[in-house]
Amino acid sequence: MSEKLPPGTLCAVCEDVATGKHYSVASCNGCKTFFRRALVNNREFICQGNKDCPVNKGVRCACRYCRLQKCLAVGMDKNSIQNDRDRIGYTKRKRKHDDHESDDRHHSEHVHDGSSGSPQVNDNSPENGDIKDIKIDLNCLDPIAERLTTLENNFTLLLSRCGDLHLYATLEDALNAPSRFMQPISCEWSDHVVLTSRDDKMPFWRQRLIALYIDWAKTFSTFRSLPYTDKVAMVTNHASSFMIMCEAFRTPEHAKSDVVRRRPDLPTIVSNNSGQGCSRVSTAFSNSDNAEGTHDDLSTLLNATCIQQSINKGILFGDEKPAEEKTLLPLPIREIKQEIIETPTTTGMIQLPTEYGNLPADYGLWIPQDYGHPTAGHEGKSDMHNFFEAREFCAGRPSSCNLNLNERTMRTVPMIEPRQFPILTANSASLSGITPVLTMMIDLVMKPFRQLNFSTTEFALLQAIMFFDPDTEGLDSASQRNVIAEQKKLLAVLFRHLQKAYNINAAHERYAAIILRMPSIRRAAAKKNESLQVLDMLQLHEMNSLVKETSLGVRPSSVQQRMGIGGGAGGCLTFANEHPEA
Amino acid sequence: MSEKLPPGTLCAVCEDVATGKHYSVASCNGCKTFFRRALVNNREFICQGNKDCPVNKGVRCACRYCRLQKCLAVGMDKNSIQNDRDRIGYTKRKRKHDDHESDDRHHSEHVHDGSSGSPQVNDNSPENGDIKDIKIDLNCLDPIAERLTTLENNFTLLLSRCGDLHLYATLEDALNAPSRFMQPISCEWSDHVVLTSRDDKMPFWRQRLIALYIDWAKTFSTFRSLPYTDKVAMVTNHASSFMIMCEAFRTPEHAKSDVVRRRPDLPTIVSNNSGQGCSRVSTAFSNSDNAEGTHDDLSTLLNATCIQQSINKGILFGDEKPAEEKTLLPLPIREIKQEIIETPTTTGMIQLPTEYGNLPADYGLWIPQDYGHPTAGHEGKSDMHNFFEAREFCAGRPSSCNLNLNERTMRTVPMIEPRQFPILTANSASLSGITPVLTMMIDLVMKPFRQLNFSTTEFALLQAIMFFDPDTEGLDSASQRNVIAEQKKLLAVLFRHLQKAYNINAAHERYAAIILRMPSIRRAAAKKNESLQVLDMLQLHEMNSLVKETSLGVRPSSVQQRMGIGGGAGGCLTFANEHPEA
DNA sequence: GAAGGTCCAGCGTCCACTAGA
DNA sequence: GTCTAGTGGACGCTGGACCTT
Ligand SMILES: [Zn+2]
Ligand SMILES: [Zn+2]
Ligand SMILES: [Zn+2]
Ligand SMILES: [Zn+2]
């Protein structure tokens, strides 16, 4: 209404500089606030003088009666005063005396609450994780952390023991089906590890992994409530990273060939065939013929060890778990632990090669040397598994982070020497023969994982935090908001979890270290996808076309489009039903 | 959808008079805006009562939790919210109060994040024990944080004011020369902003940026003590990310063309030519001819405004700095502030387009609206600059994170329409014409930066933390250890810094939020490199050969090799002396 | 014109501070 | 010195006015 707002106008009440129009009158902040408070609190002032006290910047506080009178006189409109509003927060400026939230907060804009109608029942805003809560929680896992930990263990259980794991034909099927983790688990740790026949050409474990990955995702309500395309985007975005992480987690430190050689007496659990697939710990030596030296022995031995030892060992929790956590493990974990104890072979240090089926390009790999090792972990030895894989093969370079500047030019990834095995003996210091993708995976993911000595809970949380990536390409903005919220929630859980086990400084350090793995994992995943693209372009299948359907970029080469540099991509999803030999 | 629009319908939420259907529900303006804001900013409210507070016109503001619940209950559709609709912002807004560009506008619509987000929640959870420490530290910046903050400001100072900045000819020269930041700064904020002639074909600012980047790196003793090849690796690894971050940081929220139009009276500082290069805030409108509408005006005006206003304003600290920090700023910062105050034009709120020189493909861009804004930041308004650039040009798609699945297939980045400018008028709702790289930059880096409302200190720390990337390719293992240590140290500084300004919960949340930007930045950087490769392959120059010398992969196409997927790459280094037109 | 978005004056809340008890 | 009612500058929120598609 009234026009303009002069530049250096003065307060109509006290002549101080006006900060704008307040209650219809140009006035300063002080008078504005004074007016509101006086009315809101229904104050009645008394003039000590003759009701004609001067009111100006210098003495405006001298007589409140007169000040209020003047406010009214100059036309301040009481109708412009609104009701109380909700409490607000501050993002800038930090409180000086923060401490105690002596609930007296909100001390009072309103003196005597005169029925201002503010429904504020308020006070003690406990919600926020206070230290108190944390202490209380100290003796029990955070429900979310607990759920994820159990989930992770069930994941491994199903992956390794579920004999009749249905492998979804398409992504759509996978997303629509109910999550297997939300139903009674159909198998137990005491069951045999699933096996795949030597002639099975399918990328056995990879298929299972992807299928379960989607089931895993579906356990998150936030995920379930996402629109279909966003689900696809999410699953696609994290797929490669998910797999890489699974591979990197629980991998033994290194092979001790002597042990391997020295224990052919181990009970051979695998009887039917020369053993493939030992759960997440599997051997790729489907062809022992071209293995060198002790490979035949290994091949046999691994069947026994990988099933009883490594699998149990790697999939399970180590014995060194911190007390709190150990005693609080959800049921499944306890069972696992028992099995460990009961298994005589758990003391072996055998390292297991891997396999994803018997594809020509697949091969087993011993993680060389002690690539990394516990450092800050609160967990004991390596209770990890070798879960490697490498689809592409080429005359790679030794691993390590030394000047691998040519990787990028190796485009075709020609699968050279498909049946060649990496050096497996103790002497094989370097990973010659290892693809650059694998190299990256080792250096960027596996090694750091070991150095951190991730606990299962931490691992599970990181998986989830990464899965709920707000920057997932193609996410609807509404969904993005949900994802942001979920991720934030999970981050808080992680931090709280760490606070239980470490002092504040160690906690934040570890917190950062864990989060900092993300860029590296994404990078390794991107590298992986980059290579996979080549393969994908040659073989488009079910999954691919499905993904194509549900995505926008419906070009013939849409698969490629989906493989953003950043996170994982749909590439690996195509493995579920792909493969020439299949 | 539903029919008609009743006459005196009431708001389904608060019973106020509805102004129409909003988000599928007849509602008032208030509820409409409230709903959008709550979701866009991902707010989480807490009911002080029992989640059944009344919601009506009178008390609708009393409990935001219940108000939002009711919005949802009556069916407001979150999917109707169009997140990134018009990034360009209004260009024709007619303001009531013309003149007097009231300085501190910009309150911003979006608050998002809520790192300390839900205010009412965190604000008071003082519990954390080290309040004492906080108080003690409150009065002094951590030495490292302080150094980095000063460094950042000096960086900007030299970048914008140093008239005789020597641009190293080769990377080697750059690495061997002493850091300019370790010598007395040769210029002051009161100096004129450096200018480049209109005919200068060199990527003026980019060159300066890179040169100073290396000087910046050399201020770290950890870096200086690294072997030469590792220095190269480090610098190379973070280069793209560094640039992207610089661009994203300090970018104005959006343009107000009317202001631009209305003030051709501004003192034209740029006299020689129609002005290019306005420090980090520059215009790309080197060709006003093919600009539509008001572009000519802009082109001219920007020369004046970008130099005096935005530059001073953006490069400098805002006035909103929190008191503590404000009074503790290192000298250079104080000077900056003075200048702000003394410069009459600094009060302008003009948003500036950008430029990196007058490359055909470069163009200016208005950052639209208030994308994000303070939420957890403890610093004031946007004191950012538009520091965009886009080398590649192509018929891009609107930005936003919505389904941009084709980006990856746009390989050749052919600089289509080299002289075409992005639509700048009000009609150009989206960033059509913007390269996918830019799109990623905006979505993954700039937008989040704003939402976080980074302080200069936080920004400086993140730069350093990312620079000391243990996973830098080609790092010697001894060096890697040093890098890890340095990074860890910096992370600790960051956390401590955050603890000073936030309570423990908000601190860890913000800590994570900051660290979580890393993957996104790397991703954007990778995308940038991907595109740059094409150009690099066409033009190899000085820097390139130098880089080749010092690196291992000495193939003809070595440049490409250096551009790992992960972090930044040497790509941009080649810009120092490149460019066809040069 | 309808519906989604942005702007910004103006209103309420916060909280550092300060006289006075 | 402690406690407390009161102040007012800084800022978060709101919603009517407007801009855009
Ligand atoms: Zn006054
Ligand atoms: Zn009086
Ligand atoms: Zn309403
Ligand atoms: Zn309520």
Q: pLDDT tens digits for B507-537?
A: 888 899 999 999 999 999 988 877 766 555 4
* Angstrom distance (rounded) from CA B83 to CA B39: 10
* Angstrom distance (rounded) from CA A217 to CA A202: 23
The percentage of residues in chain A with a pLDDT greater than 90, rounded to a whole number, is 22
- Distances from the Cα of A351 to the Cα of A246, A369, A455, B146, B572, angstroms: 16, 11, 20, 49, 43
Q: Establish whether the CB of A84 is closer than 7 Å to any nucleic acid atom in strand C.
A: yes
Asked, for residue B343, whether it belongs to a domain, the answer is no
Q: Establish whether the CB of B80 is closer than 7 Å to any nucleic acid atom in strand C.
A: yes
Is a pLDDT exceeding 50 seen at residue B361? no
Mutation target among A40, A90, A91 for the B interface, most CBs of B within 10 A: A91
Is B566 within 8 Å of A520 when comparing Cβ atoms?
Answer: yes
| Residue A20: φ, ψ to 5° | 145, -170
Is A565 within 8 Å of B523 when comparing Cβ atoms?
Answer: yes
Domain identity same for B69 and B148: no
Strand locations in B334-457 (E): none
Asked, for residue B503, whether it belongs to a domain, the answer is yes
- Residue among A497, A92, A338, A500 nearest B376 (CA): A92
Least confident of A236-245, B118-127, B356-365, B397-406: B356-365
* CA-based nearest residue in chain A for residue B131: A99
Least confident of A397-406, A470-479, B79-88: A397-406
| Residue A10: φ, ψ to 5° | -105, 160
pLDDT of res. B83: 65
Q: What is the pLDDT of residues B429-442, one digit of tens each?
A: 223 335 677 778 87
Query: Which tokens go with A230?
Result: 């966003």
Domain identity same for A39 and A150: no
Least confident of A104-108, A465-469, B243-247, B366-370: B366-370
User: Per residue in A402-437, is it b (16+ CB within 10 Å) or e — as a string?
Assistant: bbbbbbbebeebebeeeeebbbbbeebeebebbbbb
Q: For the range B328-332, what are the long-range contacts, defined as Cβ-Cβ under 8 Å and sequence gap of 24 or more?
A: B328/B139, B328/B140, B328/B141, B328/B146, B329/B149, B330/B146, B330/B149, B330/B150, B330/B153, B331/B150, B332/B150, B332/B153, B332/B154, B332/B157, B332/B185, B332/B189
Q: What is the pTM of this model?
A: 0.63
* Angstrom distance (rounded) from CA A448 to CA A524: 13
Asked, for residue B464, whether it belongs to a domain, the answer is yes
Domain that holds residue B547: 143-253+432-552
Mutation target among B35, B46, B85, B401 for the A interface, most CBs of A within 10 A: B401
- Residue among B362, B384, B498, B432 nearest B156 (CA): B384
Asked, for residue A233, whether it belongs to a domain, the answer is yes
pLDDT of res. B569: 32
| Residue A418: φ, ψ to 5° | -55, -30
Mean pLDDT score, B272-281: 28
Query: Three-state SS for B78?
Result: helix
Cα Rg of chain A (Å, integer): 32
Cα–chain-centroid distance for residue B535? 25
Tell me, what's the ipTM? 0.64
The percentage of residues in chain B with a pLDDT greater than 70, rounded to a whole number, is 46
Query: Which tokens go with A427?
Result: 């002497």
Asked, for residue A313, whether it belongs to a domain, the answer is no
Task: Find the A62 Cα to ligand 2 centroid distance in Å.
Answer: 8
Query: Three-state SS for B343?
Result: coil
Residue B119 touches chain A, beta carbons under 8 Å: yes
- Residue among A296, A289, A295, A434 nearest A368 (CA): A434
Asked, for residue A47, whether it belongs to a domain, the answer is yes
Q: What is the pLDDT of residues B213-237, one digit of tens each?
A: 999 999 999 999 999 999 999 999 9
Which amino acid would we find at residue A301?
L
* Angstrom distance (rounded) from CA A569 to CA A536: 12
CB-based contact A517:A448 (threshold 8 Å) = yes
Q: Look up the CATH number of the domain holding residue B513.
A: 1.10.565.10
- Residue B370 DSSP code: T
Residue A492 touches chain B, beta carbons under 8 Å: yes
Q: What is the mean pLDDT of chain B?
A: 59
Asked, for residue B69, whether it belongs to a domain, the answer is yes
* CA-based nearest residue in chain B for residue A85: B62
- Residue among B537, B531, B524, B534 nearest B566 (CA): B524
pLDDT of res. B225: 93
Mean pLDDT score, A99-125: 41
pLDDT of res. A18: 92
Count of CB atoms within 10 A of residue A132's CB? 11
| Residue A17: φ, ψ to 5° | -70, 130
Is a pLDDT exceeding 90 seen at residue A242? yes
Q: Which bases on strand C have an atom closer than 7 Å to a protein beta carbon?
A: 1-17
* Angstrom distance (rounded) from CA A397 to CA A187: 42
Count of CB atoms within 10 A of residue A447's CB? 23
HSE at residue B240, side-chain half, CA atoms within 13 A, is 32
pLDDT band at residue A111, thresholds of 50, 70 and 90? low
Is a pLDDT exceeding 50 seen at residue A317? no
Is a pLDDT exceeding 90 seen at residue A74? yes
From residues 368-397 of A, list those within 7 angstroms of strand C by Cβ. none
Instruction: Identify the residue with better confidence: B443 or A135.
Output: B443
Question: Which residue places its CA closest to the C1' of nucleotide C10?
Answer: A22
Asked, for residue B27, whether it belongs to a domain, the answer is yes
Ranges A2-6, B175-179, B498-502, most confident: B175-179
* Angstrom distance (rounded) from CA B369 to CA B106: 9
- Distances from the Cα of B54 to the Cα of A120, B45, B46, B49, B65, angstroms: 11, 15, 15, 10, 11
Ranges A53-62, B94-103, B332-341, most confident: A53-62
Q: Look up the CATH number of the domain holding residue A47.
A: 3.30.50.10
pLDDT band at residue B84, thresholds of 50, 70 and 90? low
β-pairing verdict for B25-27 and A25-27: unpaired
Nucleotide nearest to A87 (CA to C1'): C13
Is a pLDDT exceeding 90 seen at residue A12? yes
How many structural domains comprise chain A? 2
Q: How far is the CA of A93 from the C1' of D10 (A)?
A: 9
Mean pLDDT score, A75-87: 92
